[in-house]
């Protein structure tokens, strides 16, 4: 629901009422996890997002308007310095703003990798199609990705392709399902193997439940079964009940979901950012705040920093980065960059190696004494889910993804959580060491 320096005024009349209706409608047909294929790179499995090595990855990051501010590429490093593990970059296919070139796409991916950020790339020209006459179609956005296939090839570990931003407004949004399936099909036929991200209609807020009710069929239509869904939470989501109902529906139905945009204020209502962040943390759902800097047309309050200066955070920036359930305390760098797993996550069901580095046993029968350790293929192995399925005593990171404290003195209240090196840490062997 963002605005470039000069853009459309968004409408969401009746949205809050409609968002409440139908949230208990069940998804019919194929269940999300019933036909998922093993994928390389970032991929979906059983409703969650994983890296190629099986580590569950939870996005924590921000949006940056590259298409409107193409000279502000230093913002990528600044965003990483704030602790984000993901950046969502606004690109253009040329239908509405200056086209992002293939060399730019390659350069942006390289900068994301250099700063250890997973890169979500999106075509913004689709915003509000059907209601905004300047917006373009998902089919046109799909052609942009096909045109830039050379920049995406081999980057499956680092890049998620967001088909198109908020691809329908509040008019004609019933076409979202078929248009999304068609765009996915075109990319797969062209040989684009990235995890794909599909934004919701209704300016991304899905107050009509269109994405919610059709997500399972869209996922099933992806030949790679590798699509994650993105809802943008602004004024429609002004209560904890609405936030929780929407996100819980996806999680309970094993449908992959992220909050691809959200803010702390908006012209269409006052989003409950506390509920969004807390619910995302408890459900292990990714979130990406809007946006780094440069907002205009009356939504300047959505800037996270003033004047693209990472040392000048706004109140919204301080909330997102340093507040409760914020980026600094919940973000974990992707393991493809040499980091450990995400806080509070679990290995992929397809992971072959336990957190302590030993392979998982093929069968628990190789563990006759029940201590979690077996013997297969002439070496020790770990029974999945057993007491041995934990990091080694020399590990520097707790099973929940946070670093171990150097000493117990930083845990002043005895709850197992300390504070060292400007971040939370876990006291080894405490109640928090899980």
Q: Which residues are catalytic?
A: 166, 261
CB 56 within 8 A of CB 48: yes
d(CA 367, CA 236): 52
CB 311 within 8 A of CB 318: no
**By three-state DSSP, how is residue 215 classified?**
helix
Residue 413: CB partners within 8 Å, gap ≥ 6? none
d(CA 364, CA 126): 51
Strands 423-426 and 417-420 come out as antiparallel
Provide the sign of the torsion angle of the four alpha carbons 185, 190, 191, 197, taken in this order: negative
d(CA 2, CA 63): 10
Strands 417-420 and 286-289 come out as unpaired
Closest to 248 measured CA to CA, from 200, 196, 211, 212: 212
């Amino acid at each position: 629901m963002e605005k470039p320096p000069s853009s459309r005024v968004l409408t969401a009349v009746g949205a809050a009422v409609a968002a409440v209706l139908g949230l208990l409608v069940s998804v019919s047909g194929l269940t999300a996890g019933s036909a998922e294929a093993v994928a390389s790179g970032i991929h979906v499995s059983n409703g969650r997002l994983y890296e190629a090595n099986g580590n569950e990855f939870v996005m924590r990051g921000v949006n940056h308007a590259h298409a409107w501010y193409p000279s502000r590429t230093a913002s990528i490093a600044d965003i990483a310095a704030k602790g984000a593990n993901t950046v969502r970059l606004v690109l253009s296919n040329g239908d509405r703003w200056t086209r992002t070139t293939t060399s730019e796409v390659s350069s942006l991916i390289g900068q994301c990798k250099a700063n250890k950020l997973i890169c979500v790339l999106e075509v913004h020209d689709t915003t509000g199609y059907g209601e905004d006459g300047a917006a373009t179609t998902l089919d046109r956005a799909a052609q942009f990705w096909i045109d830039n296939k050379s920049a995406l090839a081999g980057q499956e570990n680092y890049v998620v392709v967001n088909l198109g931003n908020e691809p329908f407004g509040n008019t004609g949004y019933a076409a979202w399902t078929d248009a999304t399936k068609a765009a996915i099909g075109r990319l797969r036929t062209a040989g684009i193997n990235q995890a794909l991200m599909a934004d919701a209609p209704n300016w991304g807020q899905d107050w009509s439940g269109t994405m919610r009710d059709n997500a399972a069929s869209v996922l099933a239509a992806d030949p790679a079964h590798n699509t994650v869904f993105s809802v943008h939470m602004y004024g429609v989501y002004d209560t904890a009940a609405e936030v929780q109902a929407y996100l819980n529906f996806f999680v309970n139905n094993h449908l992959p979901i992220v909050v691809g945009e959200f803010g702390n204020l908006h012209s269409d209502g006052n989003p409950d950012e506390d509920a969004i962040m807390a619910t995302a943390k408890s459900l292990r759902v990714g979130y990406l705040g809007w946006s780094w800097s440069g907002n205009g047309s009356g939504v300047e309050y959505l800037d996270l920093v003033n004047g693209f200066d990472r040392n000048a955070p706004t109140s919204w920036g301080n909330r997102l980065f340093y507040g409760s359930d914020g980026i600094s305390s919940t973000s974990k760098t992707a393991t493809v960059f040499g980091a450990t797993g995400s806080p509070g996550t679990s290995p992929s069901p397809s992971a072959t190696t336990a957190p302590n580095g030993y392979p998982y046993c093929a069968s628990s029968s190789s563990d006759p004494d029940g201590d979690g350790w077996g013997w297969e293929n002439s070496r020790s192995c770990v029974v999945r889910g057993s007491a041995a399925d934990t990091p080694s005593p020399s590990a520097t990171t707790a099973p929940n993804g946070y670093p171990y404290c150097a000493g117990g003195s930083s845990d002043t209240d005895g709850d197992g959580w300390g504070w060292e090196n400007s971040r939370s840490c876990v006291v080894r062997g405490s109640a928090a060491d899980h």
